[in-house]
Amino acid sequence: MKYEIKKFNDGQVTAKIFEKGNLHVKIRGNSYEDLFRIATIKEAWDAENILHKTATAILTIYCLIGQRSDRRFNEKESFDLKVIANFINSMSFDKVEILHPHSSISLALIDNSIEIKSYEFVKKVYDAIGNPILISPDAGAYKTTHEIAKKLKADLIPSNKVRIAGVPKVTIQGDVKNKECLIVDDLADGGRTFNFLAKELKNQGATKVFLYVTHGQFNYGFEELKESINHIYCTNSYKEINDDFVTQFKVI
C-alpha cells in the first residue's frame, strides 16, 4: 500500500492513499504528531476500502509515546497512556504491533495489540560481546530479562536500586568479579540509573560493562554514561544516534 503525507505551514498533516488493498503502517510513534499522521492515513484508507471487506490494516509502532505513563501517578493528573491508547483504538486497526513496550499495560489498553520481542537484538549483542553475564537493572525488568537469559542459556544476575536519605543505593545479587556484564532494559531516557549500576558492577570487580536498551532516547546524561559504560547497543526506534560509542540496530 502506497500513501503520501503532507504537512502544511500551520502544522496540519494530511494523507493521500494511492491504491486499495491491505495497509501496513510502520512508524516510530514517539510523538503526538506521529499519532495524527497515523490517523490521517487510516481515515483515507477506510474511505477507499469501505466496500473491500477482506482488506486488513496493520499498525507497527516502534517506540510508543507515553508508554512509561502506565498509571495515574498522582491525584488530579491525567492517565496519559490511557488517553494515547484510546486514540489508537479509535482508528480500529486489525492488529497493532508494539516493539518492546515498557509494561504489559500498553498491551492491555490497546486493542488487538501484540508485542514485538527484543530477543533477536539482545542475542546479537550477547554473541558480539562473547557470552557476558546478563544484568537486570531493577525488579520491573527482571521478568523480561529472565526470559531472554533462559533462551540464551545465559547467566543472569538481578540488581535493584533504592534511595536512602535521597542517595541512590545499588545492590548486586551475585558475583561479577573478573566478568563482563551486559545490562538489559527497555529504554534509557537519561541513563542515571545505568551509570550508578555500571559503577557498582565495576566496584565489585566486573571487567567491562555494556548496555543494551531497545529504545535509546538519551535525552540527558549521555556523556556521563561514557564514564562507566564500555559500549551501548540499541535500536533506532526513537532516533538516529551518530556516535561511535553506540551501535544501533535499524528497525525503521
pTM attached to this predicted model: 0.92
pLDDT given at position 160:
86
3-state secondary structure of 86: helix
What domain count does the chain have? Answer: 2
Of 116, 147, 166, which marks where a domain is finished? 116
Closest CA to 138 of 161, 105, 155, 157: 161
pLDDT given at position 167:
66
For helices 139-152 and 119-129, what crossing angle results, to 10°? 70
pLDDT digit string (tens) for the chain, length 252 residues? 788 999 999 999 999 998 888 999 999 999 999 999 999 999 999 998 887 778 999 999 999 999 999 999 999 999 999 999 999 999 999 999 999 999 999 999 999 999 999 999 999 999 999 999 999 998 888 999 999 999 999 999 999 877 777 666 788 999 999 999 999 999 999 888 899 999 999 999 999 999 999 999 999 889 999 999 999 999 999 999 999 999 999 999
pLDDT given at position 166:
67
Q: Quote the CA–CA distance of 189 and 219 in Å, as a whole number.
A: 6
Whether residues 218 and 156 fall in one domain: yes
Closest CA to 41 of 91, 104, 110, 105: 91
Range of the domain at 27: 3-116
Report the 3 state secondary structure along 99-160.
ECCCCHHHHHHCCCEEEECCHHHHHHHHHHHCCCEEEECCHHHHHHHHHHHHHHCCCEEEEE
Whether residues 112 and 122 fall in one domain: no
Closest CA to 243 of 105, 181, 225: 225
Domain with residue 49: its CATH number is: 3.40.50.2020
Whether residues 72 and 149 fall in one domain: no
pLDDT given at position 190:
84
